[in-house]
Amino acid sequence: MKFHSFLIKYGEIGIKGKNRYMFEDALVRQIRYALRTVDGEFLVHKCHGRVYVDCEGEYDYEEAVESLKKVFGIVGICPVVRVEVKDPELLKKDVVSYVEQVYPDRNKTFKVEARRANKRYPQNSMELNCSLGEAVLEAFPEMKVDVHNPDIRLNVEIREEVYIYSEIIPGPGGMPVGTNGSAMLLLSGGIDSPVAGYMVAKRGVEIEAVYFHAPPYTSERAKEKVVDLARLVSAYAGPIKLHVVNFTDIQLYIYEKCPHEELTIIMRRYMMRIAEHFAKKDGCLGLITGESIGQVASQTMQSLAATNAVCTLPVYRPLIGFDKREIVEISEKIDTYEVSIQPYEDCCTIFVAKHPVTKPDVSRIEKSEQKLTEQIDELMEKAIETTEVIYVKYGE
């Protein structure tokens, strides 16, 4: 069956009162963006409080649906057959042919839900429900009407054209990206941080990212892996500005001066400081990490407090209460898992101590950091100055 349009269902954003237009416009923009790499020509527009994608001519249906499934704010995607407005008798044929083609197995219950937006049409909604329902029953005696809980809700809307649809393909939910400011994601090559970025983007937040790279201890390939992960997240979150910070000198300096069991915490605190610098520079309203309570020594409540202490922006940790298994499940769903498990070294594991502190005391950590006063400002400045910025876009 050839579908000519998609009716886009959106839940949460429908109830936002005056903000509704802003949300709808963001949704339209994100849909256009998602479809830009799909074969075909698409006209995305708002009409009578609805959002439609009209597909002009030939297009790649599967690819279009796959792209729409990644647009936050969409709750359901309904493929629509459009036919011209015609006589009730002739319209029956169109509806019957729709059912025939879309449902090869017709041992199903159904209900016609007609809507007459074009009041000049000779039958009203009730009459349409009856006459079209009868036509379907006549053509397919194996089908039954169930007005309360039908398998198929056959929508027939009389507008400037007739829209016929019944299937709803689930969308990702959430809110359209661009409706809730932006935040800076600390993106490593692991499983967790891409999922954390996905979850915050899902609430309408634009994402920037920062990756701490430590050449030659971490390879070019490890960096490529992070770029690949950013690209996968950007399929949902839109374009991502990725900062690649050369962290080697800072790490070596900490390694030289500070107690080794505190290395990870101190390193983390410098990561947060640098991430916050870039966040503030670009007007981001928060930081995002993939931390979850107790997952490793650096994520105990005490460690999180010590890391948090250096930040003035809010730090969002959307995975805070998730078990690894639950995080893996999401990473599989969003397709980042396979890339995340590629075995490339991580800057944190290279300098990791055998027995890291699990209950760091902030004042002790601050004391250890005083051993860095001589050079750390200069090293931070250099790291910031030499940061490479990569613009990452899915499909490009």
Name the residues that contact ligand ATP, by CB under 6 A: 186-188, 190-193, 210-212, 271, 289-291, 295-296, 298-299, 347-348
Among ligand ATP, Mg ion, none, what binds residue 307 when CB lies within 5 to 8 Å by partner kind? none
The tokens of 378 are what?
């200069």
* Extended beta strands in the chain, E state: 5-9, 41-47, 50-56, 76-83, 109-116, 144-145, 152-158, 162-165, 169-170, 182-186, 206-213, 240-246, 287-288, 315-316, 388-392
Rounded Cα gap, residues 14 and 49, in angstroms: 9
Among Mg ion, ligand ATP, none, what binds residue 212 when CB lies within 5 to 8 Å by partner kind? ligand ATP
Which sign, positive or negative, has the C-alpha torsion 228, 233, 235, 240? Answer: negative
Residue among 65 and 296 whose Cβ is closer to ligand ATP: 296
In whole angstroms, how close is the CB of 298 to ligand ATP at the nearest point? 5
Residue among 182 and 289 whose Cβ is closer to Mg ion: 289
Residue among 136 and 184 whose Cβ is closer to ligand ATP: 184
In whole angstroms, how close is the CB of 258 to ligand ATP at the nearest point? 18
In whole angstroms, how close is the CB of 173 to ligand ATP at the nearest point? 23
Among ligand ATP, Mg ion, none, what binds residue 154 when CB lies within 5 to 8 Å by partner kind? none
Residue among 71 and 297 whose Cβ is closer to ligand ATP: 297
> For strand 169-170 and strand 76-83, is the pairing parallel, antiparallel, or unpaired?
antiparallel
DSSP state of 18: G
Are residues 210 and 390 in contact, defined by beta-carbon separation less than 8 angstroms?
no
In whole angstroms, how close is the CB of 370 to ligand ATP at the nearest point? 24
Q: State the residue number with the nearest CB to ligand ATP.
A: 190
Rounded Cα gap, residues 169 and 8, in angstroms: 10
Residue among 14 and 314 whose Cβ is closer to ligand ATP: 314
First to last CA, the chain: 31
In whole angstroms, how close is the CB of 191 to ligand ATP at the nearest point? 4
In whole angstroms, how close is the CB of 324 to ligand ATP at the nearest point? 8
Residue among 2 and 324 whose Cβ is closer to ligand ATP: 324
In whole angstroms, how close is the CB of 239 to ligand ATP at the nearest point? 19
Q: State the residue number with the nearest CB to Mg ion.
A: 190
Q: Is the peptide bond before 88 cis (omega within 30 degrees of 0)?
A: no
Q: In sequence order, which residues have a C-beta less than 8 Å from that of residue 18 and are 6 or more positions away?
A: none
Among ligand ATP, Mg ion, none, what binds residue 156 when CB lies within 5 to 8 Å by partner kind? none
Residue among 157 and 192 whose Cβ is closer to ligand ATP: 192
Q: In sequence order, which residues have a C-beta less than 8 Å from that of residue 306 and are 6 or more positions away?
A: 265, 269, 360, 361, 362, 365
Q: Which residues bind Mg ion (CB under 5 A)?
A: 188, 190
Q: Is 113 helix (H, G, I), strand (E, B) or coil?
A: strand
